[in-house]
Amino acid sequence: MSRLLLSLRRLRRVVLARRRPLAALCAAVAVVVALQANAAPAPPRTMVWTAAHELPGGIVVRTSDLHRTAFDSDSVPSGTIGTASDAVGRTTAGPVRAGEPLTDARLVTGTLLDGYPGLVALPVRIADAAAVRLLRVGDRIDVLAADPQGEPTAAVVGHAVPVLAIPRSSEATPEVGNGALVVLGVSQTSARTIAQSGVSSVLSVVLTR
């Protein structure tokens, strides 16, 4: 019995000697427990297809352009695409920022000519690829044709025509020295004139608006 009393006295002395650190520890544990009890549960997350990098307007979406990103369920915009196949092969209606969710409003659902009644889509190769990189879908441009072997003046062969798309150059066949392709919305008459000029002349563009 005396040994038990002796052990209890020693334990009491140890506790008293360390009562302040023990009290602080107990208080810290109580704070942590209270915070965990009061913390709100994490909001549900939804996986959304987003742009893997900056996407210009008027380009055809590829699988490498897509990325899955987790969003708070209440912040997912309406009209987001459900599967990658819903976006691959479609054309961006305008520029899309990296990380931005892809929605039906960001992708052309019909043809490039939607909104341009009476026009046809004409692919045109512009001699200056750097000039094409300055263009955006929806811009209005004048198309100029200059004969490198003839008169030094340029003729306007297309006036205030809309840019419908700017195809992306292939990494396998870069267009260095071959200009760049742009798809324009033109009338049937202008299409013949511009196409004929593209055979014998160098085409350039002037941004009008």
Same domain, 60 and 125: no
Position 183 in a domain: yes
pLDDT at 173: 44
pLDDT at 171: 44
Helix (H) or strand (E) holding 191: helix 188-200
pLDDT band at 166 (very low <50, low <70, confident <90, very high): confident
Per-residue pLDDT averaged across 13-41, rounded?
Answer: 63
Same domain, 126 and 88: no
Position 115 in a domain: no
Position 134 in a domain: yes
Record the tokens describing residue 29, joined without a space: 């544990």
Q: What is the mean pLDDT of the chain?
A: 80
CB within 8 Å of 54: residues ≥ 6 apart: 95, 96, 97, 98
Helix (H) or strand (E) holding 45: strand 45-51
Domain residue limits at 101: 45-108
**pLDDT for 143 beyond 90:** yes
Least-confidence region, from 4-18, 21-35, 137-151, 189-203: 4-18
> In percent, how much of the chain has pLDDT > 70?
74
Distance, CA of 23 to CA of 3 (rounded, Å): 28
Position 199 in a domain: yes
- CATH classification at residue 99: 3.90.1210.10
pLDDT at 20: 66
Distance, CA of 109 to CA of 16 (rounded, Å): 77
**pLDDT for 184 beyond 90:** yes
pLDDT at 9: 61
> In percent, how much of the chain has pLDDT > 90?
31
pLDDT at 107: 85
Same domain, 18 and 53: no
Same domain, 149 and 179: yes
Same domain, 132 and 200: yes
Position 72 in a domain: yes
Position 125 in a domain: yes
Same domain, 167 and 100: no
Position 113 in a domain: no
Same domain, 24 and 54: no
Same domain, 9 and 75: no
Distance, CA of 125 to CA of 167 (rounded, Å): 11
**pLDDT for 126 beyond 60:** yes
Same domain, 134 and 171: yes
Per-residue pLDDT averaged across 45-52, rounded?
Answer: 90
Q: How many domains does the chain have?
A: 3
Same domain, 139 and 181: yes
